[in-house]
Amino acid sequence: MTLVAVLGALSDPIRVGLVRVLADGRERGWGQLHAPVAKSTLSHHLRVLRDAGLTRTRQEGTRCFVELRRDDLDARFPGLLDSVLDAAHSDDIGAHVHVSDSPA
């Protein structure tokens, strides 16, 4: 989990949107995440986030759940995530990524 990898992972609007959606700390099922890309592309972005250490993924049967590693991030790079989230919010980056709160 390196700084450059984290910043690189955050240099894409879709991934910023995913992080924003996960920023409330709740674990989300894959199926709840909606972004305007093909599912293989979404899988790719989620892999980039995981490889950079931003998220944690849990497999349960055939379903996958993803969660932001906020504690680890805050410990390793204090303040970074918060300032990125603030900036993303005020610039409305990644707004086309959303989550359906209901079922998995």
Partner DNA sequence: TTCGATGTTCGTCAAACATCGAACAAGGTA
Partner DNA sequence: TACCTTGTTCGATGTTTGACGAACATCGAA
- Window 33-62: residues binding DNA (CB under 7 A): 36-41, 43-48, 57, 61-62
Q: Is 79 left (phi over 0), alpha (psi -120 to 50) or beta?
A: left
77 binding a copy of itself? (CB under 8 A): yes
How near is the Cβ of 90 to a copy of itself at its closest, in Å? 9
DSSP-assigned beta bridge partners for residue 63 = 60
Phi and psi of 52, rounded to 5°? -80, -10
How near is the Cβ of 59 to a copy of itself at its closest, in Å? 29
Q: Are strands 28-29 and 55-60 parallel, antiparallel or unpaired?
A: unpaired
Nearer to DNA, 38 or 75 (CB): 38
> Measured between alpha carbons, how far is residue 51 from residues 5, 29, 48, 68 in Å?
8, 18, 5, 12
97 binds, among DNA, a copy of itself, none (CB under 5 to 8 A by kind): none
| Positions that interact with DNA (CB under 7 A) | 8, 11-12, 14, 29-31, 36-41, 43-48, 57, 61-64, 104
